[in-house]
Amino acid sequence: MGGQPAGPVARTEHDYALWEKRVDALLVLLSRKDNRQMTVDELRRNIEALGPGVYDSLSYYERWMHSITATLLQHGVLTVDELGRKMADVEHRVARGEL
Amino acid sequence: MEVAVRELLIEKGVLTADQVRRQVEDMDSRTPARGAAVVARAWSDPVFHRLLMADGNAAVETMGLERGPYKLVVVENTPDVHNVIVCTLCSCYPRWLLGLPPDWYKSRNYRSRMVREPRAVLREFGLELPQDTTVRVHDSTADMRYLVLPMRPVGTDEWQEQQLGALVGRDAMVGVAVCASR
Count of domains forming chain A: 1
What is the crossing angle of helices A18-30 and A60-74, to 10°?
Answer: 40
Query: How many other C-beta atoms lie within 10 A of the C-beta of residue B144?
Result: 15
Residues 6 or more apart whose Cβ sits within 8 Å of residue A69: A78, A83, B1, B5
Residue A84 sits in a domain of what CATH number?
1.10.472.20
Is the minimum CB–CB distance between A78 and chain B shorter than 8 Å?
Answer: yes
In this predicted structure, what is the pLDDT of residue A51?
86
Does any domain span residue A74? yes
Beta strands in chain B (DSSP E): 71-76, 81-86, 134-139, 144-149
Of A16, A77, A87, the CB nearest to B14: A77
- Complex ipTM, two decimals? 0.92
The percentage of chain A sitting over the pLDDT mark of 90, rounded to a whole number, equals 80
Answer whether residue A32 is part of any domain.
Answer: yes
User: How many residues are there in chain B?
Assistant: 182
pLDDT tens per residue, range A34-45: 999 999 899 999
Residue B138 DSSP label: E
Average pLDDT of chain A is: 93
Contact A21 B9 (CB under 8 A): no
The ranges of chain B with pLDDT < 70 are 182
Q: Which residues of chain A lie closer than 8 angstroms to B27, CB-CB?
A: 21, 24-25
Residues B147, B75: contact at Cβ < 8 Å? Answer: yes
Tell me, yes or no, whether A5 lies in a domain.
no
Query: What's the whole-number mean pLDDT along residues A46-64?
Result: 92
What's the confidence (pLDDT) of residue A66?
A: 96
Q: Which residue out of B19, B22, B88, B90 would a mutagenesis test of the A interface target, given it has the greatest number of A Cβ atoms within 10 Å?
A: B90
| Per-residue pLDDT tens over the stretch B1-16 | 899 999 999 999 999 9
* Interchain pair A5, B112: CB under 8 A: yes
pLDDT at B182: 67
Q: What are the residue ranges spanned by the domains of chain B?
A: 31-174
What's chain B's average pLDDT?
96
Range of the domain at A73: 18-95
Fold of B31-174: Nitrile Hydratase; Chain A (3.90.330)
